[in-house]
């Protein structure tokens, strides 16, 4: 379900490596499941051959400007321990034969559910296949909920219909890339929305919240928290093939 992505230097979105700001030691102690954490090496890796006619910076990020934290300040981790279960990845035919149509709309896809939970989660990073522009539908987080006794729905190798997913666009709806940074208890996702900032996405109700520890702690305890303004959720059958909705830039920062 995943395709490799690259950022062009001419249109690189200056997103932060949020994992650095999240202070890895504190996050592990705080029970956050880190996505894509790795060690930083001092020596530069050898340059890759991007293929005939493709500029070397397309597949060698070190040739472009460094990624920065942009509008995101250093983010303290939540205090409580909320580890997420292991992820069950979607099978290769999960959305067949509509997979290409979905990626054409929303960019490179990540598709999974947390073990023991019944929500399938699809994250589209909003990056077009060319890597030069955003996908027309923008970045998304889409969720479909299975009934506990529905073994076919819970099966990662069975075919699923994207029409049954609820598609949620972040505040900066047409931006790219949209990246999953960390998870909490299999219910909350830290998602970076390009240079709009970091948000907490609630898988249960499909709404976007701030990233402060108080937001995460309140949501995990079931307390009422004020959601940030974002485009209205739409069914997958209406979102696919359509342009991203109007952005809600007032929520950026």
**Model confidence over 89-109: pLDDT tens digits?**
999 999 999 999 999 999 999
Within a domain: residue 215?
Answer: yes
User: Quick check: is 43 in a domain?
Assistant: no
What does the pLDDT read at residue 251? 74
Work out the percent of the chain whose per-residue pLDDT is above 90. Answer: 53
The C-alpha atoms of residue 35 and residue 19 are separated, in whole angstroms, by 8
Q: Look at the pTM and tell me if it is higher than 0.75.
A: no
pLDDT at 48: 63
Structural domain contains residue 156: yes
Q: Tell me, what's the pLDDT at 78?
A: 73
In a domain, 229, yes or no: yes
What span, in angstroms and rounded, lies between the C-alpha atoms of 64 and 145? 40
- For position 195, what pLDDT does the model report? 83
In a domain, 181, yes or no: yes
Residue 88 belongs to domain spanning: 18-38+48-251
In the predicted model, residues of the chain with pLDDT beneath 70 are: 1-77, 131, 249, 253
Q: Is residue 233 domain-resident?
A: yes
pLDDT on residue 196 = 87
Instruction: Evaluate whether residue 166 is within a structural domain.
Output: yes
Map residue 17 onto helix, strand or coil: coil
The confidence score (pLDDT) of residue 10 equals: 37
Phi/psi of residue 202, nearest 5 degrees: -95, 110
Q: Is residue 169 part of a domain?
A: yes
Give the total number of structural domains in the chain: 1
């Amino acid at each position: 379900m995943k395709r490799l992505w690259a950022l062009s230097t001419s249109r690189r979105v200056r997103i932060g490596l949020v994992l650095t700001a999240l202070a890895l030691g504190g996050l592990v102690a705080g029970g956050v499941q880190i996505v894509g954490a790795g060690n930083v090496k001092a020596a530069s890796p050898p340059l890759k051959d991007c293929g005939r006619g493709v500029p070397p910076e397309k597949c060698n990020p070190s040739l472009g400007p460094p990624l920065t934290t942009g509008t995101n300040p250093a983010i303290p981790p939540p205090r409580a321990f909320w580890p997420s279960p292991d992820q069950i990845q979607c099978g290769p035919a999960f959305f067949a034969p509509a997979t290409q149509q979905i990626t054409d709309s929303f960019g490179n896809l990540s598709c999974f559910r947390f073990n023991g939970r019944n929500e399938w989660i699809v994250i589209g990073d909003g990056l077009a296949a060319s890597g030069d522009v955003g996908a027309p539908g923008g970045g998304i987080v889409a969720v479909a909920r299975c009934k506990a006794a529905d073994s076919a729905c819970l099966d990662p190798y069975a075919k699923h219909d994207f029409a049954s997913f609820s598609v949620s666009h972040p505040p900066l709806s047409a931006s790219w890339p949209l990246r999953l940074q960390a998870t909490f208890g299999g219910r909350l996702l830290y998602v970076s929305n390009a240079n709009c900032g970091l948000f907490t996405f609630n898988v249960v109700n499909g709404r976007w919240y701030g990233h402060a520890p108080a937001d995460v702690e309140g949501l995990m305890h079931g307390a009422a928290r004020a959601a940030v303004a974002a485009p209205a959720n739409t069914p997958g059958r209406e979102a696919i093939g359509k342009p991203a909705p109007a952005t809600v830039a007032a929520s950026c920062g």
